[in-house]
Amino acid sequence: MTKNESALLTVTIAYLLTANALAADPPAKPQVTPPDRVIQVPAGEVRCIAFSPDGKYIAAASGVWKDSATQGDVITQLFEVDSGKEVRRYLGHSDTIQSVAFSPDGKQLLTSSSDKTVRLWDVASGRDLGKFACSMQKMVGAAFVGDAKTIAVSYDSSVFFLDVESDQQVRRAVGHRSTIRAVAISPNGRHLMTGTGYLSFVKWGPRSHVAVDCRVQLWDMTTSRVIGPFTLFEGPVLSVAFSTDGKFALSGSGNERLNPGSDVPVDCAVRLWDVEKVSVIRLFEGHRNSVESVAFSPDGKFVVSGSRDKSIRVWELSTGKELRQIDLEGLGHRYGLIGEIRQVACTTDGKFIAACAGDRTIRFWRMPSPK
């Protein structure tokens, strides 16, 4: 065999080995997870959802693309969970609705919007009970506090507490240097958790510099004082939530590196916090993009997260073990799910996970059992 023939034989064998390997092991395709059931939402693109305390209803609030807002696009709709039937609409906001929440007794609904207003609604009649306006630039959300006589509204770098009857500010929580991106209040009304993640200019001029404020902070609601400043991220904190008993909290982080000079990793992780000890006790990893929403199951046994990577993950809280990954990549052409996960929530009986992703649906998947 000549030298040229030997070289040709080597190349041929290498080609055949490669071809056989490719044929035997094709590139992995995303595992699409069809929903167990779907509620079709007639109007608007669903940005946030909330279950009523009795579990019979789910509220879906919508957003708009850029300047395409019409009165019919920005709307909150109420559906029966079992039948999927729309029972009521709440119309009044003029820009994307950022949050929706039921009062503890289920009789009132609270919505916040990019139109810089918070609105209170009567659930049964759909009547607008009041509007709270603010001139500040960035609103993230609003929530009922305790017995619902007070509401908390996050604007820019502060959280304002408003008396529902008088429409007056009763106190204010301050401490962040940049805009709040996530806010939650414990069900017992004792604690407030906030998350930030923006660049802020400390000084403007020849010696100006940029500060990165990416942290979770825990507040005592009785004093409005910070009891646990958790400075921990190089990326933004995009979502926070409390467990039903208020003993634990979750935070979800983003993948935007706000400090280019840092070598601290941006992990897109979910962190479990012990509220009493003011410390992280578990880390849930696996998402490949920012964690937009986090939630506890009603019994506190499971952690659920939704991400821009178009997946929902479910972990067992006690062990940190991942029990299920719901991958939505590829569902668009088959089921109409077109966007990143905006919010996840658990049905009040803990049997299903609900999610919205910026399209006109609310989709449900069955909650897994521990293996």
pLDDT tens-digit series, residues 64-80: 644 444 445 689 999 99
3 state DSSP class of 20: helix
Under DSSP, the state recorded for 368 is P
Average pLDDT over residues 132-156: 83
Helix (H), strand (E) at residue 274:
strand 270-274
Contact of 99 with 48, CB cutoff 8 Å: yes
- CA 257, distance to chain mean position in Å, is 19
pLDDT digits (tens, 9 = 90+) for 44-101: 789 999 999 999 999 999 876 444 444 456 899 999 999 999 999 999 998 999 999 9
The C-alpha angle with vertex 252 and arms to 250 and 257, in degrees rounded to 5, equals 150
Report the alpha-carbon distance of residue 241 to residue 227 in Å, rounded.
17
CA dist list (Å): 216 to 157, 185, 235, 239, 337: 13, 13, 12, 10, 31
pLDDT given at position 232: 61
pLDDT given at position 140: 76
Mean predicted lDDT score pLDDT of the chain: 81
Most confident of the ranges 21-30, 257-266, 356-365 = 356-365
Which amino acid appears at position 307 of this protein?
S
Report the alpha-carbon distance of residue 139 to residue 136 in Å, rounded.
8
pLDDT given at position 141: 86
pLDDT digits (tens, 9 = 90+) for 13-38: 333 333 333 333 343 344 567 899 99
Helices (H) and strands (E) in the chain, counts: 2, 30
Q: What is the pTM of this model?
A: 0.83
Average pLDDT over residues 164-168: 86
Instruction: Name the percent of the chain in helix, strand, coil, to the closest 5.
Output: 5, 45, 45
Q: 338 or 279, which is more confident?
A: 279
The structural domains of the chain, with segments of one domain joined by +, span 35-366
Spatial CB neighbours of 34, under 8 Å, sequence gap ≥ 6: 331, 334, 335
Q: Which of 64-68, 175-179, 183-187, 361-365 has the lowest mean pLDDT?
A: 64-68
pLDDT given at position 209: 43
3 state DSSP class of 187: coil
Structure tokens at 337: 């799910």
Average pLDDT over residues 160-182: 81
Question: Is it the case that residue 336 has pLDDT exceeding 90?
Answer: no
Closest to 227 measured CA to CA, from 203, 197, 194: 194
For 35-366, CATH gives: 2.130.10.10
Question: Is it the case that residue 144 has pLDDT exceeding 90?
Answer: yes
Question: Is it the case that residue 260 has pLDDT exceeding 70?
Answer: no
In terms of DSSP bridges, do strands 291-296 and 302-307 run parallel, antiparallel, or are they unpaired? antiparallel
| Helix ranges (DSSP H) in the chain | 3-24, 332-335
What is the residue whose two structure tokens read 């946030």? 48
Report the alpha-carbon distance of residue 318 to residue 300 in Å, rounded.
9
Q: 174 or 137, which is more confident?
A: 174
Question: Is it the case that residue 10 has pLDDT exceeding 50?
Answer: no
Give the torsion sign (CA, 60, 61, 67, 69). Answer: positive
pLDDT given at position 205: 42
pLDDT digits (tens, 9 = 90+) for 315-326: 999 999 999 999
Contact of 107 with 122, CB cutoff 8 Å: yes
Q: DSSP strand E in 93-186: where?
A: 97-102, 108-113, 117-122, 128-133, 139-145, 150-155, 158-163, 168-173, 180-185
